[in-house]
Amino acid sequence: MNSLSATYRISDEPTPGVAAQFAASPTFPLLAVMLGGAWLAWPWYVLNAWAMGSATRVRETVIVLATTACTAALAFIILGLEDDKVLTGVGVQLAILLLTAVKLAAAYWLHTLQSVGHQLFLYVRGGEDTKNGNAWGVLLLGMFLRGYVLKKLPELLILVLS
């Protein structure tokens, strides 16, 4: 290959996918996990990572999958301990608080990873901002649908996806 024809490429330069038009600021999935629940935030983080073409998109996807598996295991343990009367009252509330803390910690970690990719994404696009108006709509819709979505699920999935 001729050295003059080679193009310079930054190793962490985003390679936006076909869904780049749906990319949003990573603040919105973070708000989604706080206000709507993981059922709304986890798919949004994954979609955002792949839409922006983030250099860490595989890691972000693995974090979402690992967090889902971890919270499912914790929820299963909590429900089992509650059924066996090992956890009661305040103990159950503290265990659910731990479950919430795991989800929020993962969401913040994902937000931190995606913030770097988002800034690069904006730079590569020439400063053209993402469609945050659409993100507000998804977030508000998700908040209103939260109760409807979660009440249709078994208790274990409610703990995982809330």
* Residue 162: Cβ within 10 Å count: 20
In 3D space, the residue among 62, 45, 63, 57 whose CA is nearest the CA of residue 120 turns out to be 57
CA-angle at 92, arms to 72 and 151, nearest 5°:
60
CA-angle at 61, arms to 119 and 26, nearest 5°:
30
CA-angle at 18, arms to 17 and 20, nearest 5°:
70
Rounded CA-CA distance 64/70 in Å is 10
DSSP annotation of 54: -
pLDDT digits over 45-68, tens only?
A: 999 999 888 889 999 999 999 999
Across 25-54, average pLDDT: 92
Across 14-31, average pLDDT: 84
pLDDT digits over 82-122, tens only?
A: 888 888 888 888 989 999 999 999 999 999 999 998 888 88
Rounded CA-CA distance 159/75 in Å is 6
| pLDDT at res. 63 | 98
